[in-house]
Structures are given as structure tokens and as C-alpha cells.
A and B are shown apart, each in its own frame.
Chain A
Amino acid sequence: MSKNFKLITEGLVKNNPTFVLLLGMCPTLATTTSAINGLSMGLATLFVLVLSNMAISLIAPVVPDKVHIPVYIVVIATFVTLLQFLMQAYTPAMYETLGLFIPLIVVNCIVLGRAEAFASKNGVLASACDGIGVGLGFTGSLTVLGLVREILGSGSVFGWNFIGGNDGMLAFVMAPGAFLCLGYLMVLFNRFFKKN
């Protein structure tokens, strides 16, 4: 069990998908206009990541080598479409906000990357833990980035406005702010967490 726990914690910092592995940049930049949007996108990816990791670790032994990528993609796309149905039915407003980036989880390199690098070689439980760890790491970075952009751009935290009025620095909610914030957050991460 401690091994599985370690898998979860590794995804958070040491193998953090955003700051260390530099994967899944598109949703990271596009959906983090506020903390809650970043958190939702992270959780959506976590959902797909855990389920596809589990399914792929189960089928991997019988999948012929030459078609393993298309098969994995079909499995991932199935879970993404399932997620689309669920979100449309139960959280339609959030589905609209995240828009295109929900179906695009299919081509998020994190999901296929974990399937290739981990799930295809490990058991179901370990793969699930790996999915949870990496998913939580992704969710964490998206929430932090969303939080920073929301504080700077709209002067609020999780929708709670602390400056009164709406005089945030708008550029941070828009495209340039996404790149700038992620760049500077990465600098901080390198400075404090990367030991080499």
C-alpha cells in the first residue's frame, strides 16, 4: 500500500505534469481564467486519467503491439465522451465554460503519456494510483494558476471579490496573462522545488 501511496504523492511534485513534465499545456493555459474553472478542468482530466489508466492496464496484455496506440486512443475517447455526457447532464454551465477543451482531453498528452509509460506495464491498482497522483498534480497546478490569474485579473478568490468593484488587471484573464503567469509560476517552481 505504501508503494501505491508513493505513486500518488510523486505525481504531485516530483512528476508534476505541468511544471516538471510540461504536458497538457493547452487546457492549462486556456481554462485557468479563474480558480474554479482550473479546478473543474483538473478534475475532468483526473476522471478520464484514472478510468483510462485502469482500463488500459487491464487490456494491455492482449493488445498487439502495432495497434496499441489506436486502441488506447479509442479507449480514452470513450471515457472522454462519457464525461461529456455526464457534464452536459449534470453540470451544463461548467460544460459550456470549458467548451472545446473537454473533448480535447483525448489529445491531452498526459493521458496517452501515462497510458504508454505506466498503465500498459503495471497492474490495475497501481495504474489507478498513478492516475490519481498525476491527475491531482494536474488539478493542483491548474487551480494554482487559475487562482493567481483570478486574483490579478478579476481581484477575486474562487468568485469572492476582495477589492470591491471590478478593476482587476484584465490582461491576466486574457491570453497574454495565461502565458505570463505560467512562465513566472514555472520560474518559482524551478527555484524552490527543483534540486540539482
Chain B
Amino acid sequence: MAAQSNLKNMVMVLGLTCLLCSAILGGAYALTKEPIDAAAVAKTNKAIGAVLPAFDETTYESVDVDGKTYNYYKAVKGGETVGYAVESTVVGFGGPLSLMVGVTPDGVVHNTSVLSHAETPGLGAKCNTDAKFMAQWEGFDPSAKILSVKKDGGDVDAITASTITSRAYTEAVKNALAAVSVISSGIEKSNVEEEKAHE
């Protein structure tokens, strides 16, 4: 069975095993790095595609709103901005709740998608599966509806028995809309400045 132990062969076998295993893993890491990155990119692209109208290409940018940085993808089609997909993270019931919120330049929510969450399975986690809850975000116009859950006097239908998750979700959308208003006002401002410069 097992070989006799002495210091020399113990160190040698252990060292050799570690070295060999690290080498194998290094190789495997190099080989799988590309598909892993591709999978992550595919996930993000899927989320962007789900929350925005059709577009040609996106650029990754960031904006500061009230001391918080928001990363967003600006989607362009035929030279015209068709929307912004904003990554918005808030504190949910069980931990961080991260959304991708698609907003068209007129300030209307195009759609939303959950990037990651730590909500209770079967309750808050339904924010990712409950068809009724998810459908109401499609085309949500904050100028026509009040962006808070019905319990707080708004127009958002909460998930049954998960008011806190629904509130957090609503807050994430609200933050994303605020970010977009800063983004587009910034762009308008620069347009105005450009126009002034033309004069």
C-alpha cells in the first residue's frame, strides 16, 4: 500500500502534487477563460437586449447621481440614441438586489430585468419569475403613473407577501430613472452649449 514516510519523500510528493495540480489548473484556466468571459458577456447582452428596443451597438459609460455611481449601456441605432440600460443595485429583503433597467430617452421604462438577487425563494425571489409583477414594468411611464407600491399610495402591484422586495425593486427603478434624467439633461445641456457656440 502506501510508501514509507520520510521527510524527503513527504516534501517531494506534496510539493510535486501541488506543482502539478497548479500547472493543470493554470492551463485549464487559460483554456476556459475565453468561454467564461463570453458567458458573462452573453448574460449582460441578454439582459440589455431584454430591456431595450432593437439597437445596433452599445457603449459602456457611467454617471454620478447624488454621490452614487451608476454604470449604464447607451444603445444607439442608426446614429440615434434609442435607450439606456442602467445597472441599479439596492438593498432588498435578503441582501443586494441588482437590476438592469431599460429607459428610453423620453424617460419611460422600456423593461426591467433582474441581474442578481438574494431574496427569499418562493416569496421575494418571484420578482424574477412572477409574470404579473414583471409585465407591469414594460412601458411604465412615470409621468402617468406613480412609482411606488400600492400600499404606499402608488401604482405598482406588489408581489404577494413580499412588499419589501417590491419596494426595493421600485426604488431601483426610481434610481435608474433619476440616473437617466441626469444623463439626458447632461446631453441636452451639451447640445444647448453647442447650439450657443454655433450662434
Contacts and interface: CB of A to CB of B under 8 A. Distances in A.
| Touching chains A and B, CB distance < 8 Å | yes
Interface of A: 33, 59-68, 70-71, 74-75, 77-78, 81-82, 85-86, 88-90, 92, 96, 120-121, 153-154, 166, 168, 170, 173-174
Contact of B39 (A67, A78, A89): A89
Interface in B120-153: 120-123, 126, 130
Interface of B: 1-6, 9-10, 13-14, 17-18, 21, 24-25, 28-29, 32, 35-36, 38-40, 43, 116, 120-123, 126, 130
A96 B36 CA distance: 13
B137 to A, nearest CB: 19
Given A75-B17, A92-B40, A64 B122 contact: no
B36 A61 contact: no
B21 A86 contact: no
A65 B32 contact: no
Contacts of B13: 62-64, 67, 71
B35 A89 contact: yes
Contacts of A173: 121-122
The 6 closest A-B pairs by CB, nearest first: A89-B35, A64-B5, A66-B5, A85-B32, A78-B21, A170-B122
A75 B22 CA distance: 10
Contacts of A88: 32, 36, 39
A153 to B, nearest CB: 7
A67 B1 contact: no
Contact of B123 (A74, A86, A170): A170
A121 B1 CA distance: 7
A60 B25 contact: no
